[in-house]
Amino acid sequence: MVSLPLQLVVLGAVLGAALAAAALILVSFVAFITAMELPVLHQHEEEKFFLNARGQKETLPSIRDSPTKQLSVVVPSYNEEKRLPVMMDEALGYLEERQKQDPTFTYEVIVVDDGSKDQTSKVAFKYCQKYGSDKVRVITLVKNRGKGGAVKMGVFSSRGENILMADADGATKFRDIEKLEKGLNDLQPWPDQMAIACGSRAHLKKDSIAQRSYFRTLLMYGFHFLVWFLCVKGIRDTQCGFKLLTREAASRTFSSLHIERWAFDVELLYIAQFFKIPIAEIAVNWTEIEGSKLVPFWSWLQMGKDLLFIRLRYMTGAWRLEQTRKMN
């Protein structure tokens, strides 16, 4: 005869499993009914144009157009009037020197002001006046969309054969683009001309842990576990803002993207792995810059929720990826 304490343990385990299953069903249901269809890239009238160096309006191009530059650099910026100049000086210094050494090399830098409340657009526009609007363009969004939404707007207005995402804080040394380019080339032959090279800070993990509090370290490990468990396998650092994509890979992934805030990188790579786009993870130099927009607890909580919903919404069919999907 089974003892009473053992019966209670078994009953508790059964009830716990039942509650966990009920919670998962409830969360899945909430994720399903709150999921939106693939968002159409809505542009306010002011967002369809950029100002050339003379201050005149010109219509932005589309990623549907054939590329006319070798490289597009998309810089999402929100309240970055102080940090942006350091990044732009380094990036443009490198790009100009590279063009001098190789006159066939062509580039553009697209600064996307994500509804900033400071002078980010004015600061960026000074570079447009200095280098010309063929090399530097500023897109000013009417309202804040989130980093993913800002990058998406820049990508869809780019002219490059390859498209680089680069953060406005300049935390990654811009010259490391050469490492990403080599990583991208090493992936050839590219299926349907699609490939992605992701900058990675994973090799710096020990140093970063030494400088972080135990709480932030715990949050970091928890986030990385959720990324691996729910969404993306084989990529140790999904959140580094230094990523290089072929034009075709950018079109395919960003046209399927739902998340517009911090966790957009994870969905981007989830989509890439679904489409079997080859991905290289490349170690880059990185320095933590003061002024991060991430609020340690609440931002990580939001990202954790987004990770769970990414998985559940694709799993339940609320969001779907089709092999033949084209850009909206």
DSSP 114-173: -S-SSSHHHHHHHHHHHH-TTTEEEEE-SS---HHHHHHHHHHT--EEEEEE--TT--B-
Q: Where are the domains of the chain?
A: 47-210+236-297
Torsion of CA 266, 267, 269, 270, to 10 degrees: 110
Residue-wise pLDDT for 181-201, tens only, equals 999 999 999 999 999 999 998
Residue-wise pLDDT for 103-120, tens only, equals 999 999 999 999 999 999
Beta bridge partners of 279: 196
Pick the CATH number of 47-210+236-297 from 3.90.1170.50, 3.10.20.600, 3.90.550.10, 3.40.50.1220: 3.90.550.10
The mean-pLDDT minimum among 182-196, 220-234, 254-268 falls in 220-234
Interval 251-256 mean pLDDT: 94
Nearest CA to 271 out of 199, 200, 322, 237 is that of 322
- Give me 51's structure tokens: 């100002």
